[in-house]
Structure 1
């Protein structure tokens, strides 16, 4: 009798526990999703504000104003990253703002984070291509040693695959090939840059230079 009663009580408690779990877990999950959604919305607001500040900084002709606006853009990017540290776009915004201030090494580190998993999964292929181009540009600016040129070259080859319409990426690719004395490849890269943007003076100058070097090498042979 006592055993039967005990079993019934245990069964009742187990049923009650399952009932609470079934009804409580979804509420917790829903609450978590709501909080996450609010954080994402707020993070995007900070990102948009930062992007607007960066645009104003770039268009400003006053150096002090430019630096000040870039600093404010970094603050907004940091606030966005505090809410969503895996948002590659916010890391890129911070990198571009740091570069505008002249902090190229710090900008390079931010781009490294943006292009690393899991952050890189949050941007499109085109955006990743543009970020790779910017990282290559910074790698060359920070250190012109061969290792940096090789690393930049790798980024640029991937960049032009992801975004084949970026004339500046092809132009920088040509410069990297020139540094490695790959004359034919440099010439082809400059030709592609001009095909995309015929008005590019940098690409035309590079093409003239690489064509001259290529012809000179053929003459020596």
Structure 2
């Protein structure tokens, strides 16, 4: 009888130990979840502020005001990235603000991060295509001849991501035409400009490109 009581007491203590352990684990998990939610909300708040500042910077007609707003957008984007360093949208937003500030090389580096693993995994195809087009545009602006091959690779991938539908971006084909023209590939350049014009009949860049190439 004494042995049975000791055994039952042991089982009771063991059961209580498991109960309190589970209770403690649940509290820890809940605390962790709440902390994560607060961090996500804080990151989102900084991202939204950065996006609003960027929009105001783009619409401002005063150069100094636009520059200051772009700088503030970068600050807010950095705050978001301090919470979620792998957030590709924040890196892209930062790149757009840096471009407005005239810091094209820095903008390219921000886009490099956004378009590299692991950040790239959470970026939807459409946004990835837009980021690739923007990086190609910046590469051409910084040094067309040195970066033309890299720009072509980005643009070809962007066109693939857009697919054969009405969402195809005429700007990508215009930039491709400029790259091919720089490389001396006249036929490829003509085809790219022609495709851009087909997508956007009013494209001045595409029309001028075809005129230069004698088509």
Superposition TM-score, scaled by structure 2 size: 0.89
Other structure's SS at 1:86 match: coil
Residue 185 of structure 1 aligns with which residue?
Answer: 188
Deviations 1:114-136 (A, max 9, x none): 11122122221111100000111
Q: 1:51 aligned to 2:51? A: yes
Which residues of structure 1 form unaligned runs of 5+? 213-221
**Is 25-34 or 199-208 further displaced after alignment?**
25-34
CA 1:16/1:104 → structure 2, altered by over 3 Å: closer, same or farther? same
Aligned counterpart, 1:174: 177
Q: CA deviation at 1:2?
A: 10
Given that 2:129 and 2:157 are in contact with CA atoms closer than 8 Å, whether structure 1 keeps it comes out as yes
Q: Secondary structure at the match of 1:61?
A: coil
RMSD of Structure 2 on Structure 1 (CA): 2.1
Residue 12 of structure 1 deviates from its aligned partner by: 4.8
Shifted more, 41-50 versus 93-102: the winner is 41-50
Match of 1:103 in 2: 103
* Residue 78 of structure 2: aligned partner: 78
Structure 1 length-normalised TM: 0.86
Inter-partner Cα distance in structure 2 for 1:151 and 1:5: 78
Pick from 202, 205, 211 the counterpart of residue 205 of structure 2.
202
Cα gap change, 1:185/1:3 in structure 2, threshold over 3 Å: closer, same or farther? Answer: farther
Deviations 1:56-113 (A, max 9, x none): 1111111111100000111111111112112111111100001100111111111111
CA displacement at 1:16 relative to structure 2: 3.2
- TM alignment of 1:154-165, pairs within 5 A: 154-163=153-162, 164-165=167-168
Cα distance, 1:21 vs. partner?
2.5
Unpaired stretches in structure 2, ≥5 consecutive residues: none
1:24 matched residue in structure 2: 24
Deviation of 1:205 (Å): 0.8
1:88 aligns with 88
- Following superposition, the deviation at residue 151 of structure 1 comes to 0.8
SS at match of 1:69: helix
